[in-house]
Amino acid sequence: MTLRQGVTTAAMLAILLLAWWGMRAGWEHRRRRTEAAAPVLPQVPDDPGPATFGPLESVYVSSTRAGDWLDRVVAHDLGVRSRAEVSVHATGVLVRRAGARDLFLPAQTLRGAGTARGIAGKVVSRDGLVVLTWLPTGADDERGLDTGLLPRHAADRDALVDAVAALIPDTPAASLGTQEKP
């Protein structure tokens, strides 16, 4: 290896390390900034009761501030995309995630259920994502969060929305009126 090749290799390595550090610092800054949107996640119950729907295979895409499909919340692993198993219980919605913290949305925190074309991290055709709107305990604003799920089978999408909407009093399915679609 010549001196010129060595300098070029060292420069490229330095640029890659700087880019990695910048991405890591940005993610950490977003985590701190979004902690107020979800200061405390609901505890995942040991036994949520019998499932009224599911479990079904899905992909947990991300959670965003409600109504803003690009404002990803990364605090508490909410920004980590992962394979998931989703089930609806009388007590709430249980999202068991592979490689990330499980998520439980108690029925009393749910505000809406519907479909959308996209959420931070994924855009699909024809309203292929299920989006659940919920209000975490101690959240900094009343909008709450939108959590995006991509069911493995398209046939499960409407059934999941209906099952979650049944947990929300006086709220019809697909009540996600504030969700801006890409």
The CATH code of the domain that includes 86 is: 2.30.29.30
Does any domain span residue 145?
yes
Average pLDDT over residues 164-180: 62
Does any domain span residue 25?
no
80 or 182: which leads in pLDDT:
80
Confidence of residue 8 (pLDDT cuts 50, 70, 90): confident
Strands (E) in the chain, as ranges, are 51-65, 82-89, 92-97, 103-106, 110-116, 118-119, 122-123, 129-134, 145-151
Does any domain span residue 129?
yes
Does any domain span residue 170?
no
Average pLDDT over residues 12-32: 80
At residue 72, the pLDDT reads: 83
Whole-number Cα distances in Å, 49 to 34, 46, 138: 31, 9, 26
Please check whether residue 153 is in contact with residue 54, taking contact to mean a CB–CB distance below 8 angstroms.
Answer: no
3-state secondary structure of 40: coil
40/112 Cα distance (integer angstroms): 20
Confidence of residue 175 (pLDDT cuts 50, 70, 90): very low
What domain range includes position 151?
51-165
At residue 164, the pLDDT reads: 93
Does any domain span residue 135?
yes
Does any domain span residue 181?
no
Confidence of residue 128 (pLDDT cuts 50, 70, 90): confident
How many independent structural domains does the chain possess? Answer: 1
